[in-house]
A and B are shown apart, each in its own frame.
Chain A
């Protein structure tokens, strides 16, 4: 995930659609754990089992060796609730008497495993590479030893000393614990506060105890629960093989072994003991899952959307527009709106910028155009007319005709946008063959040509590489080539340069500019960087809290902003430093973007606006913008006329004065540094 909040809607959306309550934070107390029905029952069973097992001598109806030979191998009855074994002994009494030992012994195994594994991991994480490599190799050897068979060998040598044997199992398992904990310890140690504690002179033991260990608590709890379950199974397995407590002392493994011998004449025998053991392990694992929050993670269900939204079929307002978005709304299914009433139009060969702070719905709007919204999020209203064809409500199968062929997309993080498992050649050739209907050899030639056309010099070599071997800029060029495989007419670029180095950003922007110039491609570019917008866009739509607050030509909007939010964006950023994302500098716009679901009914910017008045809190419709170059633009501010007459400027606290955009962004010269930002 990126550092920008917006793509996190993936997770947020998934949480919103969850039917069960999703714990708000990672640190959950026991009461919240219990809310999951499975884990609640599991905890209840474990508590019951522990109490019943350790108090069994106090309440058990029969002694464990009390034989009732007249009632052998009987099913449940009033006298023997769980029946009797081949010697006529009461199963209920024996099961719970037998419970204490596996519980204690498994606890011992877990304690030994963690007692060795955790200190070793902490030490390895602290001492650095040399120590880590020695301990890691050693544990690898221990992990490769066949533990069950080794345990049998141990028993063969030392006899059935179950505490010692299970302690040795703990030693063997400690290698696994070390492995897991090392990774966690290393990442916890890299957190800033641990560094700070170290700098402040806290001793290494104190740092480990006070800062590193608590950070590992969740993983330790999950692992402990799972290992406890494994130890239970191994202990009862050993007893099943005859390496358990001696008769008449009861044990689960021996009781199941007995059941297996009476499967012909007394099948009931296998039910109670097996069920108690199985329930216990299930409960422990369920608890581990609950602690790990697995259900939350697995809730993200890739289910294709089938919701069809009715939309208008009115004639396009702009007859020249190739893409016309009208009143587009995007919402979490059964949840809050993420984007509302967004409208804009795009003519062929033009570049439109969607700009705004993070969390304003830019990416959602862009993704809606191709029907590539995250799962659990869908278009809830409005229309997307592509060359006169309505895209909203089209099923995926029909949208697939548009994707790649007519509209293509490049994304924010080129390094993860390519499939790591396939070569660049495969990833290009496959869509080329499908979209252009050519053979393999021809497709390979086209792939090389495409790579050359996006400025890759040694196309043949790049074709043979895998994504992890590419640099960020190179990967973005490959992504652009991939987007061009179907000769699209519209390219949607979602923050195409955000993740890249400054110099590479400039190269990618000039590549996009050249593509627009040479191929007549239309582009919708999402950015939070006004510099990028000024540099490459013809038109701009400024978005705030899920709606377009101002739109029009770049020249008009950036030179003469009419909406206070646009003024604020510009005013707060007289010098956008190279490579510095704009929002970080927005300290002078007090407050933050209100999250979806908490938008006010009137102007959504009012709470942060220097010019807000009481009238701003009532709903209103956006005004068509006035002035040159604003024929298709709009301004969503009820005081727009007033403010324009007064020639107000946004007082940026940090800066003190508004500095206007100087250069003409309509004719950006190739040699100017494209990321220079809004120039003063």
Chain B
């Protein structure tokens, strides 16, 4: 178990290194230079050269890479080419926004999805098929379109929720929650559908298992069979998919943040991409990779806690 975790941890570090390397190489494969971007359209050659030298662009590639790694270890992401702001501080403010959207949407998806999926599997019949097929439709809907529909209904027609904008949790917890409600709901439509399918299939498979018959044969009450034994059996795939959902929602939040004007990482990466703010782009990729890697590690731990086969091996 410990050897296994150590191996996972090593792989996680490797993944982050790979992300840094890929984005680093990507930046250096760019035609032009960061100096040119910083100098803007009217920059003179001398100005560009001065900026490039300041940024270390004239150093050999390996040297620059090591320097950048050294910076990263000190949590220094450099400064923006556009407004010279500290990238680390900026992304540090944005991370909680994206993380809370992704986390809340994952939790809500898990709750709604498991409820729906288990109901579909246990009730069966026409109702069960309805849940299965409508979640098949829901998971195919483009999130940004769902978002627009929800804004139209919940915010314009009913006036229940603010359409756009973000309130800090520290400023107003209730405002924070309502400002996140629409984006979270939007992501939950697809997320819950995926979980409903996984949970439904998992429950159906669980209830077909031989050990369920063993439990019936000793007169185990039906609720216990369903909600303790079958649900526990189905929990492993559900938790794995929940983890994948969190990662997908974290990435998918780019679009949602754009739609709802939320100051998160997604918005930052969109802006950095449009303005070719290279260090900011690398910073976003590195942070997102770290989030993915940490999520995967946590997931491994949860699965190990749930599944004795993993735990005892």
Contact = CB atoms under 8 A, between A and B. Distances in A.
Contact of A300 (B132, B204, B285): B204
Contacts of A242: 270, 274
A146 B209 contact: no
B11 interface: yes
A297 B197 CA distance: 13
Given A157-B281, A241-B258, A278-B141, A270 B152 contact: yes
Given A150-B22, A243-B273, A281 B292 contact: no
B148 A260 contact: yes
Contacts of A241: 254-255, 258, 270
30 contacts: A10-B208, A140-B15, A141-B15, A145-B22, A145-B292, A146-B292, A152-B273, A153-B23, A153-B282, A154-B26, A156-B272, A156-B273, A229-B140, A233-B142, A237-B254, A243-B273, A257-B144, A274-B148, A282-B140, A300-B204, A302-B204, A401-B219, A408-B217, A416-B209, A419-B211, A420-B308, A435-B218, A435-B219, A467-B211, A479-B214
B152 A263 contact: yes
Contacts of B29: 157
A38 interface: yes
A417 interface: yes
Nearest to A412: B210
Interface residues of B, number: 90
A645 to B, nearest CB: 46
Contacts of B204: 298, 300-302
A483 interface: yes
Contact of B308 (A155, A282, A423): A423
Nearest to A423: B308
B289 interface: yes
A626 B13 CA distance: 81
A236 interface: yes
Among B217, B285, B312, which residue has the most Cβ atoms of chain A within 10 A?
A: B217
Interface in A245-300: 253, 256-257, 259-260, 263-264, 267, 270, 274, 277-278, 281-282, 284-286, 289, 297-298, 300
A158 B233 CA distance: 47
B301 interface: no
B180 interface: no
B121 interface: yes
B218 A483 contact: yes
Nearest to A269: B148
B239 interface: no
Nearest to A370: B217
Contacts of A297: 201
B57 to A, nearest CB: 15
Given A157-B276, A263-B156, A403 B216 contact: yes
B68 to A, nearest CB: 15
Nearest to A431: B218
Contacts of A485: 218
A350 B49 CA distance: 99
Contacts of B208: 10, 300, 302
Nearest to B224: A430
Contact of B218 (A157, A158, A482): A482
A411 interface: yes
5 tightest Cβ-Cβ pairs between the two chains A and B: A301-B124, A404-B218, A156-B273, A148-B251, A403-B219
Interface in A400-418: 400-405, 408-409, 411, 413, 416-418
B125 interface: yes
Contacts of A304: 222
Interface of B: 11-12, 14-15, 18-19, 22-23, 26-27, 29-30, 121-122, 124-125, 128-129, 132-133, 136-137, 139-145, 147-149, 151-152, 156, 200-201, 204, 207-211, 213-222, 229, 232-233, 247, 250-252, 254-255, 258-259, 265-266, 269-270, 272-278, 281-282, 284-285, 288-289, 291-293, 296, 306-309, 312
Given A372-B217, A468-B308, A146 B152 contact: no
Contacts of B232: 419, 421-422
B15 A144 contact: yes
Nearest to B203: A302
Contact of B289 (A145, A237, A483): A145
B210 A416 contact: yes
Contact of A416 (B200, B211, B274, B312): B211
A interface bracket (residues with beta carbon within 8 Å of B):
35 or more
Contacts of A420: 211, 233, 308-309
A54 interface: no
A229 B14 CA distance: 31
Given A237-B144, A281-B140, A301-B124, A468 B309 contact: yes
A147 B200 contact: no
Contact of A302 (B22, B122, B229, B296): B122
B222 A149 contact: no
B276 A156 contact: yes
A149 B221 contact: no
B270 A144 contact: no
B214 A411 contact: yes
A149 B280 CA distance: 12
Contact of A263 (B148, B211, B258, B270): B148
A469 B308 CA distance: 10
A421 B209 contact: no
A62 interface: no
A302 B216 CA distance: 13
B26 A302 contact: no
A270 B145 contact: yes
A561 interface: no
Given A145-B19, A146-B288, A263-B151, A278 B210 contact: no
A218 B148 CA distance: 36
B278 A302 contact: no
A285 B137 CA distance: 8
Contacts of B128: 301
B155 to A, nearest CB: 9
A419 B236 CA distance: 14
A218 to B, nearest CB: 17
A572 to B, nearest CB: 31
A407 to B, nearest CB: 8
Given A298-B132, A370-B217, A157 B26 contact: yes
Contacts of A256: 142, 144-145, 148
Interface string A36-72: 0010000000000000000000000000000000000
A403 B140 CA distance: 45
A623 interface: no
A305 to B, nearest CB: 12
A133 to B, nearest CB: 11
B152 A421 contact: no
A163 interface: no
A228 to B, nearest CB: 11
B216 A372 contact: yes
Contact of A153 (B12, B147, B149, B284): B284
A495 to B, nearest CB: 12
B30 A418 contact: no
Contact of B274 (A156, A157, A270, A422): A156
Nearest to A264: B156
B213 A150 contact: no
A466 interface: yes
Contacts of A147: 251
B15 A403 contact: no
A546 interface: no
B251 A372 contact: no
Q: Which of B18, B140, B149, B306 has the most CB of A within 10 A?
A: B140
